[in-house]
Amino acid sequence: AWRSVGAGQDAFAVESFIDELAQAAGKDPLDYRRALLRDAPRHLAVLDLAAREARWGTTPPTGRHRGVAVYRSFGSYVAEVAEVSVAGTEIRVHRVVCAVDCGRMVNPDAVRAQTEGGVAFGLSAALKEAITLAQGRVQQSTYADYPILTLAEMPQVEVHIIESGEAPGGAGEPGVPPVAPAVVNAVAAATGVRLRRLPLRLGD
């Protein structure tokens, strides 16, 4: 089972391409999205909150670059800013700032925990997990040849929740879709290279 089902792959395609369009237009990726979403207040609210908390527009720590993505899924709106460094072909995610609008909440701590889990799942899929086939058989059998994100590789995750009176949306899956495109967009900012396949591999 894939956490976030089709929303993960759709967000990866759409939000990566939006960043390419911003680059082609010579626009800041945040400003470009804001213009496109001028009539989408809930998208804008999470986008602005994530950007503000990530200090978008300021200089990140030395060697790091930021990427942003925003997506609606399962009735909820999530924006994420990933702070990434690249050393050779190694991609390291240091920080992910999330803004969530899932409508009315019963337990904000559960929303926060589910979003953090979604980021972990999305990062593991984006950076590590690959299944390959040979002569019709899956080649991976254990974590020895199917690595997942480790605790030591997990970045700092910050979750900011918007209080909302809208109808309740999901919390378990919407944190996943923006992760991969936010990382891809940060890698592009760092290297000028656009990655279009998961898991992300520089130098392939």
SS3 sequence of the chain: CCCCHHHHHHHHHHHHHHHHHHHHHCCCHHHHHHHHCCCCHHHHHHHHHHHHHHCCCCCCCCCEEEEEEEEEECCEEEEEEEEEEEECCEEEEEEEEEEEECCCCCCHHHHHHHHHHHHHHHHHHHHCCCCCEECCEECCCCCCCCCCCCHHHCCEEEEEECCCCCCCCCCCCCCCCCHHHHHHHHHHHHHCCCCCCCCCCCCC
Rounded to whole angstroms, the Cα distance separating 157 from 97 reads 6
Mean pLDDT for 183-194 is 97
pLDDT tens readout for residues 85-110: 999 999 999 999 999 999 999 999 99
pTM: 0.96
Largest CA distance in the chain: 53
The pLDDT, as a whole number, for residue 203 is 85
Closest by CA position to 102, among listed 168, 156, 15, 40: 168
Mean pLDDT for 43-67 is 97
The pLDDT, as a whole number, for residue 89 is 95
Residue 95's CB is within 10 A of a number of other CB atoms, namely 17
Residue 99's CB is within 10 A of a number of other CB atoms, namely 27
pLDDT tens readout for residues 190-203: 999 999 999 999 98
Mean pLDDT for 146-163 is 97
Per cent of the chain over pLDDT 70 is 100
The pLDDT, as a whole number, for residue 119 is 98
- Given the DSSP bridges, would you call strands 76-87 and 90-101 parallel, antiparallel or unpaired? antiparallel
pLDDT tens readout for residues 108-120: 999 999 999 999 9
The mean predicted confidence, pLDDT, of the chain is 97
Residue 180 has pLDDT above 90, yes or no: yes
Which residues on adjacent β-strands are paired with residue 177?
Answer: none
Compute, in degrees rounded to 10, the torsion defined by CA atoms 45, 154, 119, 159: -30
Rounded to whole angstroms, the Cα distance separating 204 from 202 reads 6
Q: Enter the tokens of residue 10.
A: 């759709």
